[in-house]
Amino acid sequence: MDFEECLTTIWRNYPRWPSTFGRCRRVDCDGSHSARGSKVCAKCAEGDLADIVGEDLAEQYHESIRGVRQIESVMAEKAFQQRLSP
């Protein structure tokens, strides 16, 4: 994968809304991570990104995306609860 495809694939594997996941399509994947749409999992994309920018930056990027999605989930739940309150 090239640089931009790595970034997009990592983001794609952390959707804000429900989606379908399955096994990563990479034959060399250990299968411990699911992939959105049974395409390439975020961990394999992180590995490709590490080949380009180094392991530390690739891991930081992946963890940051995961963190952003977790924060968005918490914020969405709070916003939903606020709408339910009179």
35-64 pLDDT per residue, tens: 999 999 999 999 999 999 999 999 999 999
Which parts of the chain are beta strand (E)? 21-23, 34-36
The total number of residues shown for the chain amounts to: 86
pLDDT band at 31; cut points 50, 70, 90:
confident
Is the Cβ–Cβ distance between 35 and 22 less than 8 Å?
Answer: yes
pTM value is 0.88
Q: Which DSSP letter does residue 18 get?
A: -
Q: How far is the C-alpha of 6 from the C-alpha of 49, rounded, in Å?
A: 6
pLDDT number for residue 47: 97
Neighbouring C-beta atoms of residue 62, cutoff 10 Å: 21
